[in-house]
Chains A and B, each alone.
Chain A
Amino acid sequence: MATLEVRNLQTSFFTKAGEVKAVDDVSFTVDRGQVLGLVGESGSGKTVTGFSIMGLVDAPGRVVGGQIQFQGEDLVGVSPKRWQKLRGNQIAMVFQDPMMTLNPVLRIDTQMIESIRAHQRVSRDQARVMARDALGQVGIPSADERLKAYPHQFSGGMRQRVSIAIALLNRPDLIVADEPTTALDVTIQGQILYEMQKLCRDTGTALIWITHDLSVIAGLADVVAVMYAGRIVEFGEIDDVLDRPSHPYTSGLIGSIPSRNQRGQRLQQIPGMTPSLLNLPAGCAFRGRCAYAQAVCAVAPEVSGGDDGRRRLRCHRPLSDGGLSQESV
C-alpha cells in the first residue's frame, strides 16, 4: 500500500472576488521511502497541495473534493482531534522560511520537547534525550548546549536543520517539505538535500519535496509532478521527465535552467505570466503561453497515459519526442 494516495484533490479559496481553485483535480501517489518532487511556479498550487495534505488550509480556503488516502485512511473531513494526532506524529512538515518557523521567544528544547510530548507518553528528561539525538542526526554539533539556545542564536541553515529535526522527532511516515532549502545558500542546500535523502532511504519515510527549482529535485526525487495553475500537467519518473519532457511547460521549465553546456547561448524563457486563478481561460491553462497551442487546446485536456501510473500528461499537443502519443508538431 502506498503511504499517500491523493485522488482528484480540489482545494478552493472562497474570496470576495469569487472562488479561486488553487488546487484542481490533483492526483499522485507516494510510496514508502519514495521522494516525490512537486514542481511549479509561484501560485501554481504546490504549497496549497502541501497544506491540504497537512489539513492546514485556513479559511477562506478548504478542501472541496477528492480524497487524501494516508495509509488507507481518507483524511478529507476527519475531525480536528484526529488531525492533531496525525500532524507532527505520522505526517510532518518542514516550512519554507527557517527564520519564521521557530517561535522567537521559546527555547529550542521547549519547542522540541513539546512536540514529542504531544504524541508520546515520555518524561521530560527522556524527551530531552530524544531531542538531543534528533539534533545530532541532522548534523548540529554540541547538541546539548544548543538545546538551551533561542532561535535567534542560530543561523538560517541551522534553524532549518532544527525544524527538520522537529519534523523527524516522532518518526513520521510522511514528510511534506515546502521549499525548505530556498532561503539557504547553495552549500548548505546540498548538505540538507543529502541528509534528507539518506533519512528517507534509511527509515522508509515518504517525502514530498515542494520546489520551484527543477535542478534541486533532479538529484533527489524518484518521481516528479509538474504543476501549473492548480493542476498536475505532467507526472513521471524523474529521469524520464527531465530527459524527455512531453508537456511544453515542463520543457520550458527545463530550458530556463542555466547550465554549463549552454554557455554563450541565450537562456530560454517561458513568455507571459502565470494566469490569475480567479478567471482561468477555458481549455488548457497554459494555452496563452504555449508555442504549440492550436484550436484543440481551447478544450481542457484530459489526463492521458495514466493507466500504468508511470507517466501521465495533460496536454493535447505533447512534444514529439516526449514518448507518449507520437503526434507531430
Chain B
Amino acid sequence: MTVFIIRRLMQAGVVVLLMSFLVFSGVFLVGDPVDILISDEADEEDRERAIAGLGLDKPFHMQYLLFLRGALRGDLGESFIFEEPALLLIVERMPATMELALFALLIAVVIGIPLGMFAGFRPESITAKTIMSGSILGFSLPSFWVGIMMMVLFAVHLGWLPSTGRGPTTEWFGIEVSFTSWKGISYLLMPAINLSLFKLALVIRLARAGTREVVHQDYIKFARAKGLSGRRIVLVHVLKNIMIPVVTVLGLEFGGLVAFSIVTETVFAWPGMGKLLIDSIGMLDRPVIVAYLMIIVFLFVIINLVVDILYSILDPRVRLGEIRS
C-alpha cells in the first residue's frame, strides 16, 4: 500500500512537470498581455520598465525556468491584474467551487443511484422508460440554457429561490461554507442542480446498466435461494456490486466537475475559481491561468489516486500492488 502510494506520487510528479511545460507554452502562445496591461499613452521608457517588471522581457525558456523555480517554492507567480499571488487568489475562491461541485456530486449520487437501480430492476415499466428518456435530456441539453431556464422559472416566475450569487457563509475549520444556513442552501440549490444534471444522467445510466447485469448473476439467485429478504438483496448484494463502476467513473468525473463548473459559475455569478479563470483569460492574466491549470492537473492526479484506493476497498479482488501505472 505504502509502496504503491509512493510510486504513484512519483509518477504524479512527472505528470505535473510535463503539464506545467504544456500549459506554460500554451498560454505563452495565446497572446501578449502587454497589449492589454499597458495603456497606449505610456511612453517607450515606461513600457520597457513595465515589461521588465512583469518579467516579460526575458526569453521563453528563461521565463519557464524562473516559473519552475518559483513553483518548487510554492510560488506560482503574481497576478498581473490584482498584483497578488496567483495561488492565493485561486485558493481563496476554491471553497466556493468545491462546495458547489461536492453538492452537485451528492445530488447526482443520492438521486441517480436509486433511479438507475429502479430502471434496472423494472426495465419494461413506464417509470423506468420515463427515467431513461429524462436522462437523455440530462445529457443533451446545454448546461447554460438549462441554468437560465431554471432561473426564469424558480427565481423570476415563482420567486422561490434567489437567482444569483452565494448566500451568507460561516467559517468551518477555517473554510468559508454556505450550506450551514437555509439561506445559504437556497443560494446553493439551483447552481448545484444545474451542475449535477449531466452527472445525474451518467449515474442513472451506470446504475441501470450495472443492475441489469448483476440481477442475472447466479449469486443473486443464490442469495434468493438462501431465503434473504428482497431488501437485503437489493441494498447489499446488488448495490455493493454496482458501486464499483459508479465510483470509478464519478471519481474521474469529479475533476471535470471542478474544472468545468465555469459555465454554471458564470451563469449564476457564483464566486468560484471558474469565474476567476474566465475573467483572467479575458485579461490575459498569465500567472492566474497557469496556476489555475496547474491546480486542476494536481486535483486530477490526486483524485485518480483516491479512486484507486477506494476501488480496492470496494472490490476485494483488486489489490493495489497489482494496479499498473
Contact = CB atoms under 8 A, between A and B. Distances in A.
Whether chains A and B associate is yes
Interface of A: 54, 56, 83-89, 92-93, 95, 97, 100-107, 114-115, 118-119, 150, 152, 163, 166
A101 B219 contact: yes
Nearest to A153: B316
A134 to B, nearest CB: 13
Interface string B19-38: 00000000000000000000
Given A104-B316, A104-B317, A87 B222 contact: no
A141 B224 CA distance: 28
B227 interface: yes
Given A105-B240, A105-B316, A118-B229, A100 B217 contact: yes
The 5 A-B pairs at the shortest CB distance, nearest first, are namely A88-B227, A100-B218, A88-B226, A87-B227, A150-B316
Contacts of A83: 227
B313 to A, nearest CB: 10
A106 B217 contact: no
Given A92-B226, A102-B219, A105-B315, 11 more contacts: A88-B225, A88-B228, A95-B222, A100-B219, A103-B237, A103-B240, A105-B240, A105-B241, A115-B226, A150-B317, A166-B226
Interface range on chain B (Cβ under 8 Å from partner): 20 to 34
B218 A97 contact: yes
A103 to B, nearest CB: 4
Interface in B226-281: 226-229, 232, 236-237, 240-241, 244
A116 B222 CA distance: 14
Nearest to B241: A105
Contacts of B7: none
Interface of B: 217-219, 221-229, 232, 236-237, 240-241, 244, 314-317
Nearest to B214: A103
Contacts of B221: 56, 95
A84 B227 contact: yes
Contacts of B232: 114, 118
A89 to B, nearest CB: 6
A87 B224 contact: yes
Contact of B314 (A102, A103, A105): A105
Given A105-B315, A105-B316, A152-B316, A118 B222 contact: no
Nearest to A104: B317
Contacts of A92: 225-226
A159 to B, nearest CB: 11
A89 B229 CA distance: 13
A115 B218 contact: no
A103 B226 contact: no
Nearest to A83: B227
B280 to A, nearest CB: 45
B306 to A, nearest CB: 19
Contacts of B236: 106, 114
27 contacts: A54-B225, A56-B221, A83-B227, A84-B228, A84-B229, A86-B227, A87-B224, A92-B226, A95-B221, A95-B222, A97-B218, A100-B219, A101-B219, A101-B222, A102-B219, A104-B241, A105-B240, A105-B314, A106-B236, A114-B228, A114-B232, A114-B236, A115-B226, A115-B228, A152-B316, A152-B317, A163-B222
Q: Which residue, of B227, B241, B316, has the highest number of chain A Cβ atoms within 10 A?
A: B227
